[in-house]
Amino acid sequence: MSTSSRVIRAMRCGTLFGILFVADVAPAQPPGKSDQEILQPVMACRVRTGESNSAYQLFGTVTPSRTTTIGYSLPGRLKTLHAKRGDRLAAGDAVADLQTDVIQIEIAAAKAELRLVEHQLAELQAGSRAEDIAEAEARMEAAGAIARRSASQLSRMSKLVQSKAASVEELDVATAEADSSRQLLQAATIAHARLVSGPRVEQVAQAQARVDLQREQVRLLEDRLKKHTLIAPFDGYVTAEYTEAGAWITAGDPVVDLIELDTVRVEVAVPAAQVVFLRPGQTIHVEFDARPGELLLGQLERIVPAADTRSRTFPVLVRIKNRIDDGIPMLMSGMVVRMDLPIGPEAEQTFVPTDAIVLDGVRQSVFVVDVGRASSAGGQSQAAVVRKVPVKLGVAQGDWIAITGEVDADAIVVTRGNERLAAGQSVEVTVGDG
């Protein structure tokens, strides 16, 4: 591609009046042109006019998007209070700690009991030792030998009794010894078989259940230990403290209040005659006296369908993305702001893309392109001069916003590159036809 080629890209000027296609590249420097003569490239868009509801200005109150009171779910003595009133916390930051000496001892004892039942389970799962089986086998063989000897003695005694050489009492003794030997042999045989078979499945299952129970006990105590440290559930600011280090805390006692201001809600009371024109999702322009040069846009979040019985107004909630500078929020809870609600009479208004608004800290302006004050550079790009025009903002509609000021209905305003411009500066501008 040659140095004189242009790259054309699409720029969305807004959703209110259509799409404009513009270029976003600097023109090639003609041969022999000095650095001082290079024109700054900018992108521009034609303003649009149309019928729209005019602004109906009402005052609203800033409220946090979330408010919570943080407290403990278990009793204990407060060891440390980390968060103080006015502190900014991030989600997961420690708010306070309870003393943990007792719970640490309980956890150590529970873990020791867990090791005990785990070893008992391992012993059952390993089965009988070879030495135990060998011992049982030896006892069984000894019992067998005694049983055979007793049986032999009983047989001889029976013959002696028949020949009148022994008494009946001696035969009874021999019979009892033979029966006892047989029972001992049977017991030794059963014991040997039990060792060879190993522990019963039910015994292993019972031992496993004891291990599982003790593990859950350890988990329960560790969970209680975690609850000894109070954690911030979201990013926010501490607005109240209810206790101090050393105090005894009972379950449910509050410790601090926390509010979220990264995003805020503005509540405004709208009369019934105008609230019917509002819809959730509309873009709302917000003005803040302490920051007159800011461009604040919110989104209508909810319309509460219950009027105040005294004023007959309906609460309308507008959600605004707040700005945090060095930990200090621009919009704080309780502040009063003005809102330009699109509920006034219909009138013809001039709209520009929000990207065209230039903020200088005290007011809003737009750079208007005077194409006729410089020569054309050919193609889609032209050399032009820009002038800075102060404007007052009105109702917002999507990415466009109504303005009042010395801006003609067919004016061209800079939408990109305007943050580096100065009044009277020459630029290379590319404008969409709209």
HEC-encoded secondary structure of the chain:
CCCCCCCEEEECCCCCCCCEEEECCCCCCCCCCCHHHCCEEEEEEECEEEEEECCEEEEEEEEEEEEEEEECCCCEEEEEECCCCCCEECCCCEEEEECCHHHHHHHHHHHHHHHHHHHHHHHHHHCCCHHHHHHHHHHHHHHHHHHHHHHHHHHHHHHHHHCCCCCHHHHHHHHHHHHHHHHHHHHHHHHHHHHHHCCCHHHHHHHHHHHHHHHHHHHHHHHHHHCCEEECCCCEEEEEECCCCCCEECCCCEEEEEEEEEEEEEEEEEEHHHHCCCCCCCEEEEECCCCCCCCEEEEEEEECCCCCCCCCEEEEEEEEECCEECCEECCCCCCEEEEEECCCCEEEEEEEEHHHCEECCCCEEEEEEEHHHCCCCCCCEEEEEEEEEEEEEEEEECCEEEEEECCCCCCEEEEECHHHCCCCCEEEEEECCC
In the prediction, which pLDDT does 112 show?
Answer: 97
User: How much is the CA Rg of the chain, to the nearest whole Å?
Assistant: 45
The pLDDT assigned to 380 comes to 59
Q: Strands 94-98 and 76-81, how do they pair?
A: antiparallel
β-strand pairing of 381-397 with 426-431: antiparallel
pLDDT (tens place) for every residue of the chain, 434 residues total:
333 333 223 333 333 333 333 333 334 444 444 444 578 888 888 899 888 888 888 999 999 999 999 999 999 999 999 999 999 999 999 999 999 999 999 999 999 999 999 999 998 888 888 888 888 889 889 999 998 998 898 888 888 888 877 788 888 888 999 899 999 989 999 888 888 888 888 999 999 999 999 999 999 999 999 999 999 999 999 999 999 999 999 999 999 999 999 999 999 999 988 899 899 999 999 988 888 778 889 999 999 999 988 889 999 999 999 999 888 999 999 999 999 999 888 888 999 999 999 987 778 899 999 876 444 334 456 788 888 999 999 899 888 999 888 888 889 999 988 888 888 888 888 876 44
415: which 2 tokens?
A: 């939408």
Token code pair at residue 61: 């109150």
| Residue 19 tokens, joined | 């799409």
Confidence at residue 372, expressed as pLDDT on a 0 to 100 scale:
60
In this predicted structure, what is the pLDDT of residue 34?
A: 46
pLDDT value for 432 = 60
pLDDT reported for residue 286:
92
Number of residues that this document lists for the chain = 434
Give me the pLDDT at residue 75, please: 93
